[in-house]
A = this chain, B = another copy of it.
């Protein structure tokens, strides 16, 4: 570990939160490429020493975090309650935001077909998403994007590592008996119940 790497490690350690490579470069008066290179070797060095923490790269930012296998002992010692797993609704909202950001709440609700404000508020509070800006469209709605915590939670470094959206597609249902089916002309089939 050279002096620059030592400083970088100190900054990451003290910061706690993810910190941009550009900010490290500025503070150390070196180029961003140098920062990235130094962090790569620093990362190897930490793992050679079998350190209990590692450097995560999350959407252009670096963060020090303990290695996953140590989670149980840390939970036990710090008495942290395990976060409840994300609900189906939360995962749907995250999916919409992750692939379309920045997105407004109206967009989310349009895709899901239900009011999603409490879920958006909950995900904001938990730090998975954040307000990114107001959109330059009429009404200037607030838009949301995902955070580094989102990347960390789903084990990816970058949004580009999300599964390819084209691998998801609507499944056509078997069309055995669609041929004869158009508007039924039997009025009794149209009983209305409102």
> A interface vs B, CB < 8 Å?
1, 6-7, 9-11, 13-16, 19, 23-24, 26-28, 49-53, 64, 66-67, 70, 73-74, 76-78, 80-81, 88-89, 105, 109, 112-115, 117-118, 120-122, 124-125, 127, 130-131, 133-134, 136-138, 140, 142, 173-175, 178, 181
Copies of this polypeptide in the complex: 2
Which residues on the B side are within 8 Å of A134 (C-beta)? 88
Residue pair B125, A117 in contact (C-beta under 8 Å):
yes
Asked whether, in the complex, the Cβ of A136 is within 8 Å of the Cβ of B16, the reply is no
Determine if B113 and A77 form an interchain contact, defined as CB atoms under 8 angstroms apart: no
| Residues of B close to A114: CB separation below 8 A | 105, 120-121, 124, 131, 142
Residue of B nearest to A125 (CB): B115
B73 close to A28 (CB less than 8 A):
yes
State whether A78 touches B178 (Cβ < 8 A): no
